[in-house]
Structure formats: C-alpha cells, structure tokens
C-alpha cells in the first residue's frame, strides 16, 4: 500500500504471525525479516516473544545480530515484546551462558521473572501515554525490568511496582503480549514512531 509504514517482524522464532497480522490490520506494509537485506528494506522492526536465547543464537547464525545493532544505533524504531524486550535491554539477568542481547534500552531485565508457562496471567495496566483506558496485558513466562537508567522511561508497572513497559527514543519494550489480547495501542505507537522517522528522513 502506497504511503504505508514499511515495517518488519523478526522471523527467526516466536509469535511472528500474530504481530504481522496486527500490523497489517493497522495499515502497515509488513515484511518477515530473516536476512540483513530484508532488514535494510524496512523502516521499523518488531522483535516478537519467544525464547530470547534462541533468538540470540539464530540472529548470529543468520548474520542478523550486527545489522540489528547498527539499525538501533542509527535510530530505527523497534518494538520488543516479552523475549523482544530482553533482546532490546542493555543488560540481561539470568541469561544462559554466552547469551547476548541487541541492546539499546538503558535497562536491566530479568528473564522468566514470572515463572513457568503454567503461571501465565493477565492484568490490567494503567499507561498514561496511551490514554485513560487500561491496557489488558497477557504475561507468558515474561521478563521484568529490574532497573531503568536515566536514558529510558517507565511506561507501565504492575500494582506491586514491578516495571513491565519501558521506552527509550524509538525503542519500546514490553514484558507482555499485546498482540494476543487485541490491544493495538502499543503497535500504533510504534507505527507513529516509524512514520515520524521516515518523515524526518524524507
């Protein structure tokens, strides 16, 4: 579609289809990204939930780690959900030996902070930046943000104070899965960032 934001979903592992379908529904021109040349053809990237250690390993096998890091450094907007948040964090706690992230968000994130898959749950979150209506968030073996540096901003926390959504520039990281609860506002926020960056570059 002419004029649509050109965005990619990192398609190495995880819930790729759900993000791609939601982005297309919101009017984006969506590419599944597995190779550097596919990343070079988009203006924004979603890193889906899945298993962060597997995404890390496959990103290196497919030659994607350094191009994604370079894209982050160059200001490409990115949305990371669950494992995607882990991949966007500068520091990961409880990582497996040798595990690396792409980095970009000045935060410390703990893997699997909410326990096993059977301990998954849903919660309503207040997110002032998204308006008065609460966000319905699904947590599935999600990470938690243990600390946030001065460059990053907290968007949402659970009632017990655990931080579950952070933002830094064009990077947005969520502990939960908006793509499976019908919540579109985070994806819209991401697409707005993509449009702003492409307009500035035009």
Catalytic annotation, residues: 82, 177, 179
- C-alpha to C-alpha distance for 119 and 98, rounded to whole angstroms: 27
The contacts of residue 193 (CB under 8 Å, 6+ apart) are 44, 77, 170, 172
Strands 105-110 and 89-93: parallel
HSE at residue 125, side-chain half, CA atoms within 13 A, is 31
- C-alpha to C-alpha distance for 144 and 85, rounded to whole angstroms: 9
Residue with tokens 């964090």: 89
Give the helix/strand (H/E) hosting 171.
strand 171-174
């Amino acid at each position: 579609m002419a004029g649509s934001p050109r965005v990619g979903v990192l398609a190495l592992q995880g819930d790729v289809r759900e993000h791609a379908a939601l982005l297309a529904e919101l009017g984006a021109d969506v590419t599944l990204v597995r190779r550097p040349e596919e990343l070079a053809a988009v203006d924004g990237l979603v890193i889906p939930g899945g298993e962060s250690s597997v995404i890390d390993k496959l990103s290196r096998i497919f030659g994607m780690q350094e191009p994604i890091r370079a894209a982050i450094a160059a200001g490409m907007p990115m949305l990371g959900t669950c494992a995607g948040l882990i991949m966007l964090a500068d520091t990961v706690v409880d990582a497996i030996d040798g595990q690396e992230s792409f980095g970009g968000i000045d935060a410390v994130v703990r893997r699997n902070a909410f326990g096993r898959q059977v301990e998954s749950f849903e919660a309503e979150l207040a997110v002032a930046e998204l308006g008065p209506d609460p966000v319905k968030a699904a947590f599935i073996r999600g990470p938690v943000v243990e600390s946030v540096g001065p460059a990053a901003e907290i968007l949402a926390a659970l009632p017990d104070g655990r931080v579950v959504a952070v933002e830094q520039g064009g990077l947005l990281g969520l502990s939960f899965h908006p793509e499976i609860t019908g919540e579109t506002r985070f994806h819209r926020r991401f697409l707005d960032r993509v449009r702003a960056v492409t307009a500035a570059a035009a």
